[in-house]
């Protein structure tokens, strides 16, 4: 008998050791660091988005309302403060029920057991897993206080709809801090852990309210709340987070900087730190300007769609993009990559390579200005034939107006967006030299070395074109546009700070002259509608063949902004949907807000640049008060003299 008893004891001990031999070390909890939420902020400290693998946001127990703690214990574990980690009577009762049913029908898990399962085990329902869970629970109770266990549980348990922990649940369900939850809201959250996917108020609000009221009734039964408190909380209407389905603001911009962090900052952050480390990403985006940009895009597309519908040309729907940059710093102030982020997340401000049409011309003219060609130089606007890109073929560029002006100044040719003078100019400069100059301005897309480059035949992104334009009011300096100012860790320590790339793209004098020419586009040419802003403005329209792309890119002394309108399928927007008709109104609406707080000021005029009145047709100098004269800038020594 002694031998048999010893064998049984040995067998039991062996079985126990086999069950627990690979259990995790409970002391590892002392070094446990839960996955935390990374937040992306606008410059006004508004949360744009949250990045996480599990939306878990730890909070100390003392900041969690007593009503929420009581509600949870009432529903999940009333003997929490007295049991050693497992409820012996509950286990026996559940075991009997399981035997009768022939399977698992009753869990009998204490909060400590649930925590052990959440942290260390799989959710499978087997007897072995339950034993391992109980062993871990006993170890937890020996090593940690009840408050420590409850705090960890409340910060770890899943409450449904992507919320891990009570702080995230309060924010996701009610858009509130935990401290400001009502009794009814505390009861509703406490009802979630049993079946979170089913009871979530965002999934099934009626069932969630019924579960809430069950919790309240149980709290009343144990004397945790009064009858008056019960009635008030049970009658409380469900006020859910109105933005629960819109967790991301400025979605296109958030995607842009997230892509940047995942690619350019991979060595520093990695996916683990980015999505689990609780980082704070401080960005350049202004929500005031972002709201204005989104509104301008929405209203501009609505007007365009009405015109298209009137012509029977409504499908497929048009798209639009807008990006704005701080002229002085290169910081991206706003970014919209399409008409509706929820419908299409393709970012047309960054990833679409569309022909800019005449919006590319200022780069050609800037290259000429840098070659010491003054803006009053005349060039022939008349029919011309060039050799085509293929042997034996001819190319005959045409003006949009299908009219010709004869000898015309560079200034007027740009302001009226004449094609033939631009082609003649690039022919004299050489396409390769213009490409080199464009790259120094920040145009990184591949450009073909053909004369048609002057007419914007090579695809570019809206962001790079807008960045290139910002060089002009920035006195010739190129700054790589950037969207992140600083990244700090969950302790607030800075781990990365922006250091934008800077370079001299063109001379300060040349930049001032081109800026003046683009002011002429607004005052004298295709951008006249922008004068309604009553601000110092320069810019250029762009329209491609068959009205497939419409552009306007322009700037004030403080903000450079670009707008593109078109269809993803490269189909026509409709006859006469030019840059001035489709894109410029959106730009004006946005810049009305963007320039509202700018004090009136002029663009930079270097000391060795002079302002001279000229005849825009002949380029000759005129008296100050001569009718039809315009004020033009020249590098000293190149200005026209009185005859």
State the chain's maximal CA–CA distance in angstroms: 131
Q: What are phi and psi of 281, to 5 degrees?
A: -105, 110
Partners of 49 in beta bridges: 40
**Does residue 624 carry a catalytic annotation?**
no
- Taking a C-beta distance cutoff of 8 angstroms, is the pair 559, 529 a contact? no
Q: Say how far apart CA 136 and CA 111 lie, in whole Å.
A: 12
Q: Say how far apart CA 541 and CA 520 lie, in whole Å.
A: 12
Per-residue 3-state assignment (H helix, E strand, C coil) for 181-227 = CCHHHHHHHHCCCCCHHHHCCCCCHHHHHHHHHHHHHHHHHCCCCCH
H/E run at residue 554 = strand 549-555
Place of tokens 């007593």: 66
Neighbours of 364 (CB within 10 A): 24
**Cα–Cα–Cα angle for 638, 642, 643, rounded to 5 degrees:** 115
Whether the ω angle into residue 316 lies within 30 degrees of 0, i.e. cis, is yes
H/E run at residue 38 = strand 38-41
**Does residue 35 carry a catalytic annotation?**
no
DSSP code, position 11: H
Place of tokens 């979630």: 192
Active-site residue (options: 67, 76, 370, 464): 76
Q: Where are the beta strands (DSSP E) in 196-318?
A: 280-283
Q: Count of H helices and E strands in the chain?
A: 21, 21
Neighbours of 106 (CB within 10 A): 14
- Taking a C-beta distance cutoff of 8 angstroms, is the pair 514, 367 a contact? no
Q: Say how far apart CA 273 and CA 493 lie, in whole Å.
A: 14
Dihedral, CA of residue 363, residue 366, residue 371 and residue 375, to nearest 10: 130
357: tokens are 């049409």
Active-site residue (options: 109, 161, 358, 415): 358
Q: What are phi and psi of 579, to 5 degrees?
A: -60, -40
Task: Give the chain's end-to-end CA distance (angstroms, integer).
Answer: 131
Place of tokens 């919209």: 336
**What is the set of active-site residues?**
76, 358
């Amino acid at each position: 008998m002694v031998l048999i008893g010893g064998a049984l004891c040995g067998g039991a001990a062996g079985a126990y050791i086999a069950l627990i031999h690979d259990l995790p070390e409970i002391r590892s909890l002392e070094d446990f660091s839960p996955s935390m939420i990374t937040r992306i902020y606008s410059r006004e400290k508004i949360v744009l988005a949250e990045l996480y693998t599990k939306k878990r946001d730890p909070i100390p127990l003392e900041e969690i309302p007593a009503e929420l703690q009581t509600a949870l214990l009432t529903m999940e574990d009333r003997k929490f403060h007295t049991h050693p980690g497992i409820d012996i009577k509950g286990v026996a009762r559940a075991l009997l029920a399981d035997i009768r049913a022939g399977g698992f029908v009753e869990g009998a898990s204490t909060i400590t057991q649930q925590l052990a399962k959440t942290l260390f085990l799989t959710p499978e329902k087997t007897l072995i897993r339950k034993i391992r869970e109980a062993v871990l629970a006993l170890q937890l109770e020996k090593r940690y206080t009840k408050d420590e266990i409850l705090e960890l549980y409340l910060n770890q348990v899943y409450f449904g709809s992507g919320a891990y922990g009570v702080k995230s649940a309060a924010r996701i369900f009610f858009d509130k801090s935990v401290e400001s939850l009502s009794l009814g809201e505390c009861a509703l959250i406490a009802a979630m852990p049993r079946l979170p996917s089913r009871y979530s108020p965002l999934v099934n609000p009626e069932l969630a309210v019924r579960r809430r009221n069950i919790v309240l009734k149980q709290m009343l039964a144990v004397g945790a709340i009064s009858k008056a408190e019960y009635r008030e909380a049970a009658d409380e209407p469900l006020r859910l987070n109105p933005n629960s389905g819109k967790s991301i603001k400025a979605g296109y911009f958030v995607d842009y900087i997230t892509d940047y962090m995942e690619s350019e900052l991979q060595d520093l952050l990695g996916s683990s730190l980015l999505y689990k480390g609780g980082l704070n990403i401080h960005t350049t985006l202004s929500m005031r300007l972002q709201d204005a940009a989104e509104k301008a895009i929405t209203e501009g597309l609505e007007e365009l769609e009405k015109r298209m519908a009137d012509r029977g040309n409504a499908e497929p729907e048009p798209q639009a993009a807008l990006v704005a940059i701080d002229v002085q710093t290169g910081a991206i102030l706003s970014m919209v990559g399409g008409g509706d982020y929820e419908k299409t997340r393709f970012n047309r401000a960054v990833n679409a390579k569309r022909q800019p049409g005449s919006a590319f011309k200022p780069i050609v003219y800037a290259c000429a200005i840098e070659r010491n060609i003054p803006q009053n130089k005349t060039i022939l606007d008349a029919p011309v034939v060039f050799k085509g890109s293929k042997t034996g073929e001819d190319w005959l560029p045409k003006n949009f107006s299908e009219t010709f002006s004869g000898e015309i100044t560079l200034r007027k040719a740009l302001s009226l967006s004449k094609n033939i003078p631009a082609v003649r100019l690039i022919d004299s400069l050489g396409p390769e030299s213009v490409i080199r100059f464009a790259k120094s301005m920040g145009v990184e897309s591949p450009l073909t070395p053909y004369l048609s480059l002057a007419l914007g035949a090579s695809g570019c992104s809206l962001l790079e074109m807008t960045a290139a334009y910002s060089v002009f009011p920035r006195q010739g300096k190129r700054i790589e546009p950037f969207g992140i100012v600083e990244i700090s860790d969950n302790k607030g320590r800075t781990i990365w700070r922006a250091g934008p790339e800077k370079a001299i793209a063109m001379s300060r004098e040349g930049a001032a002259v081109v800026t003046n020419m683009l002011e002429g586009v607004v005052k004298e040419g295709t951008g006249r509608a922008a004068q309604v802003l009553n601000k110092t403005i320069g810019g250029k329209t762009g329209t491609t063949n068959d009205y497939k792309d419409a552009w306007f890119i322009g700037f004030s002394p403080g903000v450079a902004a670009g707008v593109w309108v078109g269809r993803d399928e490269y189909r026509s927007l409709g006859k006469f949907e030019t840059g001035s008709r489709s894109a410029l109104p959106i730009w004006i609406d946005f810049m009305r807000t963007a320039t509202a707080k700018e004090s009136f000021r002029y663009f930079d005029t270097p000391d060795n640049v002079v302002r001279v009145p000229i005849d825009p047709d002949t380029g000759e100098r005129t008296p100050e008060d001569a009718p039809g004269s315009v004020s033009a800038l020249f590098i000293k020594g190149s200005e026209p003299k009185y005859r």
